[in-house]
Structure 1
């Protein structure tokens, strides 16, 4: 057996808890989680409430480390497919939290490390952090009749605030399409629902809306796909803004919104080339105009076959997960390489119903 003798400087650091803590605090969250396996001492340091509290205050959004996939819709069983090669897959990863939500929770949204969940059969909502295995049941919203429920969305950006907000909307009347909506805001800072607004507008696309930069964004296909809408609810008032889509994007349901690392992204079919291609556009900081980020040959990729888009800390780490020739693969935008995700194929073989829920999992020490 060969033993490695560490240099004195390294032994000095790893034997000093204060120095080791300072080093660990500066690492990506997923690396910290994996370092729990180094030793019992490292596990104790990382699991300590003081360390978790300090790390949660560091404003950072890590690159997504996995896909959280619902693959048994009748029993709400989720599997974890790693995007980081250091993580093992879990094909039967049900919720590990308390009995009050175990096996009854449905993931509705993933937002920078936190999951917004719906808990049956009592029609409750909760926030769950799978990295640190913590959850919080939310108080019941006002006017929360299930038959009038339209949508609920969470807003959380640790680079802006340690607190999250949840937006809940219900129909005010029984007409379809509804003429107006009642919107309520929950804040984790105050712990209550407040700011009840009545709002009217083209909300038909809200069910598939996404959160980015203090607002909910969606494309209203009733406008022939010409506009995307921004509903700001994090600030003092609910404000609806119309934003023009890029002129080169084809209309009629040929575009889709994504969010990654605080950036709003638009995937759309380009109509200026002899052969259609998929373009990824990025919204500017002032939410005023789109700029072209990536172009992908569309001959083998359909718009509906794109599961998610993720921007890396480095350009060469940016990717999207797509269905390609009956397989699910990770495509790197810069390197133009494909990497198979066989674990997803295994899950797909077990599904008795069409796959409907896929969420990006980002490691986070955020409090709930």
Structure 2
């Protein structure tokens, strides 16, 4: 593309240029490096032009709040961005949703992650240890104990060198982000060391560019904590713990507290069905900026699919329907909720002979069994895990939702 000179740029105001750019597909606007991918992509991706490389003025315009706000207002009624359910531990994409969204992606997010890891790290040394709802993943390389924060679609990647502490003592808890208007302003990588009487967090902050050690004393007693699937949401990390009575609690810790809440950073919330018989191992998911909890609970000898939302005052029951709507029997495991639609919850079952992906609409109490690769009339693609070799592992695993934001603004280095 021929670069415009300053005189040509001055023929239009910045607002007019921003309006023009905001009407163009977002991937060509955002990508500064064309990803190396195998296979044939859509014509749109074949014709990607890195507008941010045209000239400094275009780069400034594309990254400006005015252009971002204008774009988001234009696409506020669009369905959603791409997202996936990722199986923790084996990095398997259990379910993917992509297609005719704002980004026009023709591959799943799991595919972008795989190709990014293959390009960036030799011998597949890098593994994903945390996913977010803002397009960032946390990667850990065991050989040199370094971390990387990356967006696998835009290919932006930041290396974080290890702290001089003995890293083996710490558990990788995850990554938390500070956002404003869907733009990541900062992030923290959080490691945890649990001692008998206290807990230490080893925290890397993008604002300071350094590690710091913070010791906290929780005002309650645990006999065990589970860090297999911490969930990052709104600057907090949430994980499961058990009290001395062997009851399950949710621990929430705020790593970006406001000024008047610094002393109230930790919260413990008992699960709402502790006095009931439940079907699934307790785990949480996210939807529309809230932490959600799904389980099948026996109520008066009737199995009910219950969904709760975590509010400031505790768990709020938002849905309760009979599992009898699934006529073939409910031998599924929960994957999570649609991150953008609180009506839809997804389940999976499988064996060596086959597998099913089940979605339930909580509002109309109807279900649908999906094929392994299913396209809707508008081009969206819903796909489930592609092969039986991972099935046994998937049955015993936790799942994280990985979501691409509507605006791929660069995150802090």
Structure 1 position 186, deviation (Å): 1.8
Asked whether the 8 Å contact 2:283–2:398 carries over to 1, the reply is no
197 and 63 in structure 1: CA distance in 2 versus 1, 3 angstrom threshold: farther
Tell me the residue number matched to 2:293.
Answer: 266
Name the structure 1 match of 2:51: 45
Q: Gaps spanning 5+ residues in structure 2: where?
A: 1-15, 32-40, 374-382
CA spacing shift, 1:249–1:345, aligned 2, 3 Å: same
Paired with 1:277 and 1:144, the residues of 2 have a C-alpha distance of 47
What residue ranges of structure 1 are gaps of 5+ in the alignment? Answer: 1-15, 173-177
2:193 equivalent to 1:170: yes
Note the alpha carbon deviations across 1:215-252, whole angstroms, 9 max, x for none.
Answer: 22223234443532222222256832222432586367
The equivalent position to 2:403 in structure 1, one of 359, 362, 367, is 362
- Displacement after TM superposition at 1:342 (Å): 0.8
2:176·2:232 contact (CA, 8 Å) conserved in 1? yes
Cα distance, 1:71–1:155 mapped onto 2, change above 3 Å: closer
Please state if 1:229 is matched with 2:251. yes
Q: Give the structure 2 partner of residue 219 of structure 1.
A: 240
Which residue number in structure 2 is paired with residue 82 of structure 1? 96
Deviation at 1:339, TM superposition (A): 5.0
Superposition deviation, residue 30 in structure 1: 11
Q: Tell me whether 1:310 sits opposite 2:338 in the alignment.
A: yes
Query: Counterparts of 1:274 and 1:80 in 2: how far apart (Å)?
Result: 32
- In the other structure, the counterpart of 1:66 is 83
Q: Tell whether the 8 Å contact from 1:215 to 1:231 is kept in structure 2 after alignment.
A: yes
Quote the residue 1:342 is aligned against. 372
d(CA) in 2 for partners of 1:80, 1:243: 29
SS of alignment partner, residue 19 of structure 1: helix
Change (3 A) 1:117 1:328: same
Q: What is the number of equivalent residue pairs in this alignment?
A: 335
How far apart are residue 306 of structure 1 and its match?
1.0
| CA RMSD, 1 decimal | 4.1
The TM-score, its normalising length taken from structure 1, stands at: 0.73
**Structure 1 residue 353, shift from structure 2 partner:** 6.4
Answer with 110-119 or 334-343: which moved more: 334-343
Counterpart mapping for 1:1-368 below 5 A:
18-24=18-24, 37=44, 40=47, 43-45=49-51, 49-50=59-60, 53-54=63-64, 63=80, 65-67=82-84, 69=86, 73=90, 82-86=96-100, 87-89=105-107, 94-96=114-116, 101-102=121-122, 103-112=124-133, 113-146=135-168, 148-159=169-180, 162-172=185-195, 178-199=196-217, 202=222, 204-222=225-243, 223-225=245-247, 227-235=249-257, 236=262, 239-246=265-272, 250=276, 255-284=282-311, 287-298=312-323, 300-301=329-330, 305-312=333-340, 318-324=343-349, 326-334=355-363, 336-338=366-368, 340-343=370-373, 347-351=386-390, 354-355=393-394, 356=397, 358-364=399-405, 365-368=408-411
User: Structure 1 residues 337 and 36, CA, compared in 2 at 3 Å: closer, same or farther?
Assistant: farther
TM-score of the aligned structures, taking structure 2 as reference length: 0.66
